[in-house]
């Protein structure tokens, strides 16, 4: 499994505060951002179909925010599609506390460039307490492609062949090709206590399906005291505008780097399938990447 860190703001403090030379650094980042955007926009999956990526994580870990942030970078304005209907705790208001809907978001490229080869699926959070969170079998059903778009999950009523819209024989387009675990860095200790077993089971079952997994850490800005002081410094700074811009671009670069990684891990799924089709020699086991 690969870990992609949405990490601390940039070490712009290391530059002499007096010099105020943040502009070259900012333009380097801007160039990197443009490079990543172009790479993501032009990426073609090995099998020609777009990849579906499933975001999994506890309620409030930042799944919807991740999707909205990526969409916003490409659209050039703040988009909140994935957050619509969310309460501050991450639950979708419209469908009640114990239900949530499977929603797939195409990641559109820059204006006029059409969609990227990536779509992201948002589902309800993982179970932290009995009676809450997405059912384990429902997660596997989504990954295998049985769950229809718009399906309303209910922890006490798992998806089954009689469920409206259930896909009996999902095609490659319906399946999930990469799973992204979205984890709040400030809550890793409580995840360890409450969700360790769930994560282990998920890792085993998802690996058995040949689907690669990536972990994204969110809320790093809150997790790290050093970062917190960076953020505070920003507001004190005399070159506040420039530094905030630089920080924003840095965040975008981190997000885009995560998307770049995700896209490549999703493509590994297609490459693995293609080599399986070549016969037993090409049947490579699921690889694990410890980032
Ligand atoms: N400070 C901070 N807040 C975040 C971050 N990611 C998400 N959030 C906030 O955390 C809350 C829950 O995020 P959301 O995406 O709805 O979580 P979900 O339940 O996993 O979909 C929202 O208020 C987000 O704005 C992050 O990296 N840093
Ligand atoms: Mg959400």
- Domain map of the chain by residue range? 2-10+21-282
CA-182 nearest atom, ligand 1: 20
Q: Which candidate, 35, 113, 111, 43, places its Cα nearest to that of 72?
A: 111
Helix (H) or strand (E) holding 51: strand 51-56
Is 59's C-beta closer than 6 angstroms to any atom of ligand 1? yes
Nearest CA to ligand 1 atom 4: 219
Q: Which two tokens stand for residue 125?
A: 């959070």
Q: Encoding tokens for residue 201?
A: 């089971």
How far does residue 143's CA lie from ligand 2's centre (Å)? 18
Any ligand 1 atom below 6 A from CB of 187: no
> Is this prediction's pTM over 0.75?
yes
Ligand 1 contact via 125 beta carbon (within 6 Å): yes
**Which residue has a Cα nearest atom 1 of ligand 1?**
219
Structure-token pair, residue 128: 């932290």
pLDDT truncated to tens, each residue of the chain (291 aa)?
A: 545 544 333 443 344 444 444 545 778 889 999 999 999 999 999 988 899 999 999 999 999 999 999 999 998 877 776 665 455 444 444 434 434 899 999 999 988 788 999 999 999 999 877 767 899 999 999 999 999 999 999 888 899 999 999 999 999 999 999 999 999 999 999 888 888 899 999 999 999 999 999 999 999 888 765 555 555 554 455 555 666 777 788 889 999 999 999 999 999 999 998 888 754 433 333 333 333
């Amino acid at each position: 499994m690969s870990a992609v860190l949405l990490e601390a703001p940039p070490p712009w403090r290391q530059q002499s505060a007096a010099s105020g030379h943040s502009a070259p650094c900012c333009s380097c980042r801007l160039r990197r951002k443009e490079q990543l955007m172009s790479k993501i926009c032009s990426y073609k999956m090995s099998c020609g179909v777009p990849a579906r990526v499933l975001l999994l994580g506890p309620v409030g870990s930042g799944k919807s925010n991740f999707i909205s942030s990526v969409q916003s970078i490409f659209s050039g304005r703040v988009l909140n599609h994935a957050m619509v209907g969310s309460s501050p705790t991450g639950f979708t208001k419209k469908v009640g506390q114990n239900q949530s809907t499977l929603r797939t978001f195409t990641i559109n490229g820059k204006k006029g460039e059409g969609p990227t080869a990536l779509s992201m699926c948002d589902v309800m959070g993982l179970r932290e307490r009995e009676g809450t969170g997405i059912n384990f079998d429902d997660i596997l059903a989504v990954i295998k492609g049985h769950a229809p778009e718009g399906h309303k999950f209910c922890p006490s009523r798992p998806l089954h062949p009689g469920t409206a819209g259930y896909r009996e024989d999902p095609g490659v387009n319906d399946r999930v090709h990469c799973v992204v675990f979205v984890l709040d860095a400030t809550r890793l200790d409580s995840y360890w206590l409450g969700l360790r077993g769930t994560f282990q089971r998920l890792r085993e079952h998802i690996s058995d399906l040949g689907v690669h997994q990536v972990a994204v850490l969110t809320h790093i800005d809150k997790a790290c005291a050093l970062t917190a002081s960076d953020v505070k410094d920003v507001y004190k700074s005399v070159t506040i505008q420039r530094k905030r811009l630089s920080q924003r671009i840095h965040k975008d670069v981190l997000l885009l780097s995560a998307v770049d990684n995700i896209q490549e891990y999703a493509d590994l799924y297609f490459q693995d399938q293609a080599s399986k089709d070549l016969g037993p020699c090409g049947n490579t086991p699921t690889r694990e990447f410890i980032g």
